[in-house]
Structure 1
Amino acid sequence: MPGVGPGYGVTMTPRPVRVLTALLIATAAATVVVEVLNFWYAPDHGTGLAVRTGWAFARTLAWLVLIFQVRRARATAKPLSLILTMTTLFAVGRLIVPATGRPPLPGLIGFGVLALLCLTVVVLLHRHPAVDAHLIHQPRRLTLTRDGLKLREAPPGDPWVLTARLASFSYSPLMLVPALTAAGTLRHQLEWTLAVLFWILAGIAVSYVALLCAFFVGRGSQTARLTLASVTLVVVAFDLPLCGILLGADGLIRDGAPLVVAAALTLYALWRTARSPALAG
């Protein structure tokens, strides 16, 4: 909320932050519009399209979380924006390209507008000094005090820790989307039923493993960094062959590529945390 004038103790929200908020709202709206257009023009409304469109809509809610974090001046807005824009472009992009034929022109135009909005959002969040000065508040966590447990703001930490955490948290949905898509094709390949079931269970289990590892990575644990890096490699080695076998080359590109990018970002962030004097050791 803008300030009401000098002497009232209310800080005026910087103009770049207000512009950024408006851009985030426009990006969330554009995401929904493009997804509706893609679904409308899609020649085949099968299980795969339904699952991927449902995930795309569910992920749209994350834009509202990002808007909230920017308005609350949370430092977590930066890594969240990076993961969100990346997964949004991949998720929407794979909906545009049909299994056969050319993508519809309205979908291509909408995707171009969405890509431009995402790029602008990332540049503002990571490069504008006024936005950088605004995003100073750290996540809150339970702290034991003399008066009991209280939610307090965590001390400033390495931003690459937040990036590694958020990137690794995306493993679970990025595994579950192709697994559920493959489940819709089992009537034609029943011999893969157990593999798909294990795929779904692994997608659920990896969320807990990533959460536990990410917690200790923030505490500077070398073991946690190595464990999360190992989990990342196992997830990629497990997910990509199943995408290729059960969903074909199309599924490998649509569903495997986002996971590879998230894994690469996690590994790079872990490498950066290992080089941080505050967290190394």
Structure 2
Amino acid sequence: MRTAAETQVRRPSAVRALTALLAVTAAATVVVELLNWWYAPEQGFGLAVRTGWAMLRSLGFLVLIGHVRRGRTVARPFGLILAVTTVFAVGRLVVPQAGVPPLPGALGFALLTGLCAAVVWLLYRSPALAGHLVRHRPRLVIDRSGFSFREVPPRRPEASGWLLTSRVAAFTYSPLMLVPALIAAGAVLDGRLVAVPAVLVWFGAGVAASWAVLFCTAFLMRGRRWARGLLVAVTAIVLAVDLPLCRWLLGVDGLIRDGGPLVVAAALALYGLWRAERA
């Protein structure tokens, strides 16, 4: 027989199910990437970078588990962006440059896609999770007892879920630019010295994008309308810089594999702004 205290702290079954699903998805991400690496016809520098970046997403699922267990509101947009970009990050490695994908990799990708779809479905369709994911991150509070970190109600009106989605999507711009820039650096090591200035510009643009997004989203969460237009402009500049460099230094294959996920992230960010405007 459970006590009243035990019943009070017991999480809903949907939370426990989602936590287990996220753990399985994190493990599946690692397994599928290892399968792709094992069956890849050419295990070069570019594949190693893309595989490492995709495997890092398993850590993202572990971070998401923490947000879900703590009932944080950011879990929904973070989970959506993580699931979508994981599918693209893994999918671009399943398809080889020539021929058909190996059967183990294709089956693993199908399984991972189903797991990511289930994660998104639970996050956005479960009433129990909707009632659970309502808490905000702790903040530094100064009072008579001293300094402490605890949850406090936001001082401004709560940002909509679509604005949070745009914010999380925009924060992926920088890593999605730096990964192909690092791959292009391998071309410099292969003797393409003419690409050195372009690679340096690419790295610089990736770092600058992170600061620009941080500035935009800080005011976006405060309800500044001009910040929406600025984020749209930053998105356009990011695409204008990244996609041509992908095409020039990495070819059509690199444009699809590395430019595609950035286009998806940009589309989610812009769609979130549009939905928030209509809400």
- Shorter-chain TM range is over 0.9
Question: Partner residue of 1:129?
Answer: 127
Matched, 1:157 2:159: yes
Q: How does 1:5-84 map to 2 (within 5 A)?
A: 5-6=3-4, 10-84=8-82
CA distance in 2, matches of 1:158, 1:94: 32
Give the AA of the match of 1:18. R
CA distance in 1, matches of 2:33, 2:166: 28
Q: How does 1:164-179 map to 2 (within 5 A)?
A: 164-179=166-181
Question: Partner residue of 2:91?
Answer: 93
CA distance in 1, matches of 2:97, 2:91: 13
CA distance in 2, matches of 1:144, 1:244: 52
Q: Deviations over 1:90-123 (max 9, x none)?
A: 1111111112222111000001110011101100
Q: CA RMSD in A?
A: 1.8
CA distance in 2, matches of 1:265, 1:148: 42
**Structure 2, unpaired ranges of 5+:** none
Matched, 1:264 2:263: no
Asked if structure 2 preserves the Cα contact closer than 8 Å seen for 1:4 and 1:10, the reply is: no
CA distance in 2, matches of 1:55, 1:256: 14
Q: What is the Cα deviation at residue 141 of structure 1?
A: 3.4
Question: Which of 136, 161, 182 is matched with 1:180 structurally?
Answer: 182
Provide closer, same or farther for how the CA distance between residues 16 and 160 of structure 1 changes in structure 2, counting only shifts above 3 A: same
Question: Which of 227, 251, 259 is matched with 2:230 structurally?
Answer: 227
Matched, 1:241 2:244: yes
Q: What is the Cα deviation at residue 188 of structure 1?
A: 4.3
Give the AA of the match of 1:183. A
CA distance in 1, matches of 2:269, 2:143: 34
Matched, 1:255 2:258: yes
Question: Partner residue of 2:212?
Answer: 209
CA distance in 2, matches of 1:133, 1:169: 26
Provide closer, same or farther for how the CA distance between residues 14 and 139 of structure 1 changes in structure 2, counting only shifts above 3 A: same
CA distance in 2, matches of 1:236, 1:146: 50
| Equivalenced residues, count | 274
Q: Deviations over 1:184-242 (max 9, x none)?
A: 11234321210111101111121111112111111011122211111011101111111
CA distance in 2, matches of 1:235, 1:165: 15
The percentage of counterpart residues that share the same residue type is: 56
Asked if structure 2 preserves the Cα contact closer than 8 Å seen for 1:37 and 1:106, the reply is: yes
CA distance in 2, matches of 1:216, 1:143: 22
Q: TM-score, normalised by structure 2?
A: 0.92
